[in-house]
Structure 1
Amino acid sequence: MANINLTDEDVSLLNSKIGLHTLLKNPKVNLKKILEEVKNIQELRQLQEELIKLQKWVIKKDKKVVIIFEGRDAAGKGGAIRRVTEYINPRHFRIVALNIPTEDERKQWFFQRYINQLPKPGEIVLFDRSWYNRAVVEPVNGFCTDEEYDIFMSQVNEFEKMLIQSDTYLVKFYFSITKKEQARRFKDIKSSPVKRWKMTAVDEEAQALWDEYSEYKNKMFDATNTKHAPWVIIKANQKFKARLTAIKYLLKTIRYK
């Protein structure tokens, strides 16, 4: 083990509950990496305490918050959502991850089933994928027609503008990973008995369709990165750092008191 000069603060961190837990779960002791991990966890806890304050403000002021989590398969959207919601009041937030539309929903206006999921006053709604399925996933996989895609792209900016004008906070995250990192994560998922269920038929094709996804993703950014509803691109190859970045953005953007 390489020598490392520990400050009094470092020693205190290692002797904390989080520090001792991190030491015990790492069979190969690398103090530099362990200290970095402990500091990250400590920072996350502090940010999560602020999220509790933000939610209390949302409830007290009857605010409505919509947070969209988009990104390629295995980009870490679900993990980020779990860290955001880990300690806030479950009665005042919802996670929405819609299945494929029913036959009746296919006949409705495309945005209708998303409107039905929007927050009531005092509520936060987190979309694990959103209406932007139609901007990327659906056209790449042939789940919508060219006409349906064009109609969506012509309507989405106005839809979001109306949403914001109805006194709703809208945050749009896109978690961005490299092709190599996605392949590594897929391999990890497939080799894990408790994660294997996550792989879908769409996931299986993601690497082969990488360039097609990139094409539609870039079209989406060009057309829908508006002043009133900008995209926030999160570099997500490092999961923990991506989660911290997303939470920091929420706390900075939603001006809670």
Structure 2
Amino acid sequence: MTEAKQNSPARDWLEAEFADTLDEDYELEMSEPALSLEIAKIYKNAHPPSMDRLQYFRDLITLQSELIKLQSWVAYTRKKLVVVFEGRDSAGKGGVIKRITQRLNPRICRVVALPAPTEREKSQWYFQRYVPHLPAGGEIVLFDRSWYNRSGVERVMGFAEPDQVEEFFRDVPEFERMLVRSGITLVKYWFSITDEEQQMRFQMRIHDPMKQWKLSPMDLQSRVNCIDHLLKQVPYEEVPHEEITLPDRVFNPEYERQVLPRELYVPEKY
């Protein structure tokens, strides 16, 4: 068998993955073409290309395949992994989280993005509302914002008193040491952009909300750099997998699948 034929399944898979990812781009490009083109023109002037898009997709898929290995290792070894994502609004952490979780099993890897605290939660120990969301053995939890809200948005917006913020700064190192002592691997990321860049992205969100997640070439690098760095923080390795084989299907010539009434079917509109 030639090398080309041997690599054909892998190449077919890669092309399918490219198509799946590019579909998202095409879908959004068709939303409001005129507005999208105008915003794209302004954005390209501010962000000359810094990474080839095809190479970005190749690197991304390679890294995502490693994330699947990491996920398998966490599940197999019953490890606990917490990744905290913080940063300025529109700095790109949402895009990174999307790409990390894109091909992972939601039963193993989940995202926690808590809403504003209820009146009851406001009366609790500050860290209490985050504790129920921590991982059990064999789980990965990504916090899209976290307990650091107290030192960030709550402090800036006046939702926390100065003495509460000071208490947070005293407590958070010990809280995180407790997490590590309990067997949790804790990784924290902060995403930042300039004031000018943030203002431009806010304008994009206002005028083109369908594309608010789309990022600049610089962000493409930040996505793959973050995933690459995360993979280096955990000493994962290949784990054994049982070979899966499908049993022979048994056909019963006397079995007849019942035809359901037409009103129970989803209409074939397309």
TM-score (norm 2): 0.68
Q: Radius of gyration: which is bigger?
A: 2
Match of 2:142 among 81, 103, 126: 126
Does 2:185 align with 1:169?
yes
Alpha-carbon separation, structure 2, partners of 1:195 and 1:53: 31
User: What SS class does the counterpart of residue 171 from structure 1 fall into?
Assistant: strand
1:171-190 aligned within 5 A? 171-190=187-206
Match of 1:95 among 111, 133, 138: 111
State, as a whole percentage, how many aligned pairs show the same letter. 46
Q: What stretches of structure 1 of length at least 5 have no aligned partner?
A: 1-12, 28-32, 199-235
Alpha-carbon separation, structure 1, partners of 2:64 and 2:135: 21
User: What SS class does the counterpart of residue 185 from structure 2 fall into?
Assistant: strand
Do the aligned residues in 2 keep the contact of 1:177 with 1:237 (CA within 8 Å)?
no
Alpha-carbon separation, structure 1, partners of 2:208 and 2:56: 25
Aligned length: 200
Change (3 A) 1:108 1:237: farther
Q: CA deviation at 1:192?
A: 1.3
Look up the equivalent residue of 2:111 and give its one-letter code.
I
User: What SS class does the counterpart of residue 174 from structure 1 fall into?
Assistant: strand
Could you tell me which residue of structure 2 aligns to residue 244 of structure 1? 224
User: What SS class does the counterpart of residue 52 from structure 1 fall into?
Assistant: helix
Bigger relative contact order, structure 1 or 2 (CA pairs below 8 A, ≥6 apart)? 2
Look up the equivalent residue of 2:60 and give its one-letter code.
L
Alpha-carbon separation, structure 1, partners of 2:133 and 2:219: 28
Q: CA deviation at 1:237?
A: 8.2
Q: CA deviation at 1:136?
A: 1.4
Write the deviation string for residues 3-56 of structure 1: whole angstroms up to 9, x where unpaired: xxxxxxxxxx9xx8449x97x9699xxxxx698110111000000000000000
Alpha-carbon separation, structure 2, partners of 1:69 and 1:105: 22
Change (3 A) 1:42 1:48: same
Do the aligned residues in 1 keep the contact of 2:51 with 2:220 (CA within 8 Å)?
no
Q: What stretches of structure 2 of length at least 5 have no aligned partner?
A: 1-10, 30-36, 38-48, 238-270
Do the aligned residues in 1 keep the contact of 2:50 with 2:217 (CA within 8 Å)?
no
Change (3 A) 1:193 1:237: closer
Could you tell me which residue of structure 2 aligns to residue 207 of structure 1? none
Look up the equivalent residue of 1:171 and give its one-letter code.
V
Alpha-carbon separation, structure 2, partners of 1:193 and 1:166: 41
Does 2:234 align with 1:254?
yes
User: What SS class does the counterpart of residue 124 from structure 1 fall into?
Assistant: strand
Could you tell me which residue of structure 2 aligns to residue 66 of structure 1? 82
Q: CA deviation at 1:150?
A: 0.8
Look up the equivalent residue of 1:80 and give its one-letter code.
V
Q: CA deviation at 1:176?
A: 1.2
Q: CA deviation at 1:194?
A: 2.8
Could you tell me which residue of structure 2 aligns to residue 78 of structure 1? 94
Change (3 A) 1:69 1:160: same
Could you tell me which residue of structure 1 aligns to residue 69 of structure 2? 53
Alpha-carbon separation, structure 2, partners of 1:124 and 1:237: 28
Does 2:111 align with 1:111?
no
User: What SS class does the counterpart of residue 177 from structure 1 fall into?
Assistant: coil
TM-score (norm 1): 0.72
Q: CA deviation at 1:120?
A: 0.9
Q: CA deviation at 1:238?
A: 1.8
Alpha-carbon separation, structure 1, partners of 2:133 and 2:188: 16
Alpha-carbon separation, structure 1, partners of 2:159 and 2:226: 30
Do the aligned residues in 2 keep the contact of 1:66 with 1:168 (CA within 8 Å)?
yes
Q: What value does the CA root-mean-square deviation take over the aligned residues?
A: 2.9
**Structure 1 segments of 4 or more deviating over 2 A?**
16-19, 24-27, 193-196
Alpha-carbon separation, structure 2, partners of 1:79 and 1:120: 26
Does 2:171 align with 1:155?
yes
Do the aligned residues in 2 keep the contact of 1:176 with 1:237 (CA within 8 Å)?
no
